[in-house]
Amino acid sequence: MQIPLNQFEQYIDETILQRGLNYFKKGKVQEPLETGYGELEAVVEGSEDYIVNLTIRNEIVTEFSCNCPYDMGPVCKHVAAVIFYLQKEELGLDKKTKSKKTNSTPISKKQKTPAEQVNDLLEKATHDELKEFIREHTSKNSSLRSLFLSYFIQYNSNDTKELYVKTLKTAIRSVSDRHGFIDWSASRRLAIEVTTLLESAQKQISNQNYTSAIHICTAIMEELNRALGYADDSNGDLSSCIDIAFESLVLIANERHNEAIIKQVIDYCLSACNSDIYRESNWNLGLLSLAAALQKTTEEFNRIFALIEEFDSEYEQEHAKTIKYDLLVKVKGEAEADKYLEQHLDNYDLRSKAIQKAIDRMDYNKAIQLAHDGINQDKNKRHGYVADWYNWLIKIAQEQNDVNKVIEYARLLFLSDGTSKEELYQILKQNVAPEKWSTFVESLAKEVLQKHKGYFSETLAGIYIKENWWERLLNLLQKHPYLRFVEYYEKYLVKDYSNQLAELYAKGIIDLLDNNIGRSHYKTACKYLRRMIKMGERNKANEVIELFRKKYSNRPALLEELSKV
């Protein structure tokens, strides 16, 4: 779950939001410390002091955790309280929060980070004290014990894959309910524990203990793949762990100086593909592709070819054919592979390869024919592929310096649905003669308007922005005054049209509450009222607030939310 900071109220349960706000207003949030790039740690005072960790990228909370016992949903009140702290200026909240529990002076801005505090303690603690700490806490904490054993695995003569399988099975059982199901929050806890093993695998790779790393990675892939059958992994935590384990396996395989390790990886890939371990997932394709990339012997070649023929779903067959082609190039050579290529042009990847090979040979007629055949092949069932074949036609026309064809195909794609417009617009502007551009873009905008008549067109709005046609953009919003559109395009118009935008916000907010009831809608309305105030239209916002107070005086939840604006 990712939480945009400027819309966090829409992502968190209303009850949790209210509790988090109360914690914030009571000053229970200590000033967050930056523990790394985009990483924050804050202490929130509750029945105990709880530690909240947030990772923020591009104004979005991408990861969050709290060591409190709450497990009834994705976000606890402590996380919500810290987010309120971070957004206090945006929300106009001026309650003071506690810097830190102290009997004397407030927290220093130069307070040491947790990592620095740990380093200080390690310098001061004795060897025997550290050993005693590890003995005591590894006996109580299975996660710490697993991390300790795997981190120092090079000193363990009993290192086997079964050791890690046992550790993982224990971890899985510990988070499963009495029916064996792993719910959303349990999946996250399990992923955190598995991460300690993944970190250990990375250490073993760094130390060139490849066999230990392979044991860890393959155990994780297998046991988590099985666990996915009875887990809620809607946030992708467990799947991400499998992906990282597989990427580590690829990293090991790329250390090509150790032939025995490479053979170990190939043997695992082929045996796993030949079993039922990954039968219901797509990781077997990744394993087969890795084996094909590493293949060196005729025996391995034959085993891979036999496995390729066993895939039965259309998706698997598509990818397996590409693996087979790449393997033929490697083992049999280009000529043999090209025969296979020509026989399987119904395959998207292989047709794309065939077009690129024709371009490389400057056989443009062949490349054009392949692209047109692809359009005819996919026009009734795979529209995304059709756009790709037209993109190939643009590329071919560029290779031939055929400006008219470039414009023809780029214009056709620009007007079609479901295609990225930014690059196409640039292609058109670069190829249409400057003296003809004004007429051309007016015609383009007119056609887009006709095609999308009666509803809002983001494509048309994009043209207006590119051409700095701000009044036209405003008129488009006035015809389709949906709040989310006004919010998105506000940044382009606020400098010159703040009053008109405030009118659009006001109309949208009034329509919203005329047709909806409930705290989530009230919060949305208040969010837009804050935007009006932020852009300097407080008077208009106050008018709407007074209207609501009179019109909806019997809605205490709304009045409560309005009091926070």
Do the Cβ atoms of 422 and 428 come closer than 8 Å?
Answer: no
Question: Rounded to an integer, what distance in angstroms lies between the CA atom of residue 117 and that of residue 102?
Answer: 17
Q: Which of these ranges, 1-10, 95-104, 468-477, has the smallest mean pLDDT?
A: 95-104
Q: What is the pLDDT of residue 34?
A: 83
What sign results for the dihedral spanned by CA atoms 507, 510, 512, 515?
A: negative
Residue 284 has pLDDT above 50, yes or no: yes
List Cα–Cα distances, 205 to 201, 250, 447, 464, in angstroms: 6, 11, 58, 53
Do the Cβ atoms of 444 and 425 come closer than 8 Å?
Answer: no
The region, left, alpha or beta by phi > 0 then psi within -120 to 50, assigned to residue 401 is left
Residue 350 has pLDDT above 70, yes or no: yes
Q: What is the pLDDT of residue 121?
A: 87
- Top mean pLDDT of 107-111, 396-400, 420-424 is at 396-400
Rounded mean pLDDT of 528-549? 93
Q: What is the pLDDT of residue 105?
A: 35
Q: What is the pLDDT of residue 189?
A: 85
Rounded mean pLDDT of 322-350? 92
Question: Which residue type does 133 have?
Answer: F
Question: Rounded to an integer, what distance in angstroms lies between the CA atom of residue 292 and that of residue 305?
Answer: 9
What is the average pLDDT score of the chain? Answer: 87
Q: What is the pLDDT of residue 97?
A: 46
Per-residue pLDDT tens over the stretch 351-382: 999 999 999 999 999 999 999 999 999 988 88
- Top mean pLDDT of 36-45, 157-166, 501-510, 527-536 is at 501-510
Q: Is 413 helix (H, G, I), strand (E, B) or coil?
A: helix
Question: Rounded to an integer, what distance in angstroms lies between the CA atom of residue 169 and that of residue 20?
Answer: 36
Rounded mean pLDDT of 474-491? 93
**Secondary element (H or E) of residue 393:** helix 383-399
Q: What is the pLDDT of residue 9?
A: 85
Torsion of CA 33, 35, 40, 42, to 10 degrees: -50
Per-residue pLDDT tens over the stretch 214-254: 999 999 999 999 999 999 998 888 999 999 999 999 999 88
Token couple for 378: 């996919």
Token couple for 124: 């001061």
List Cα–Cα distances, 479 to 282, 454, 461, 473, 535, in angstroms: 47, 9, 12, 10, 22
List Cα–Cα distances, 399 to 259, 359, 388, 469, in angstroms: 43, 8, 17, 34
Angle among Cα 456, 458, 462 to the nearest 5 degrees reads: 135
List Cα–Cα distances, 410 to 29, 127, 362, 399, 451, in angstroms: 54, 70, 22, 15, 17
Q: Which of these ranges, 59-73, 102-116, 297-311, 402-416, has the smallest mean pLDDT?
A: 102-116
The dihedrals phi and psi of 281, each to the nearest 5 degrees, come to -125, 180
Token couple for 152: 């120092």
Rounded mean pLDDT of 420-445? 94
The region, left, alpha or beta by phi > 0 then psi within -120 to 50, assigned to residue 390 is alpha
Q: What is the pLDDT of residue 275?
A: 81
Q: Is the pTM of this model over 0.85?
A: no
List Cα–Cα distances, 252 to 249, 255, 261, in angstroms: 5, 5, 8
Per the model's pLDDT, the better-predicted residue between 208 and 499 turns out to be 499
Per-residue pLDDT tens over the stretch 151-203: 676 566 567 888 889 889 988 998 898 889 999 888 888 888 888 888 888 88
CA proximity to 506, closest of 490, 474, 483: 483
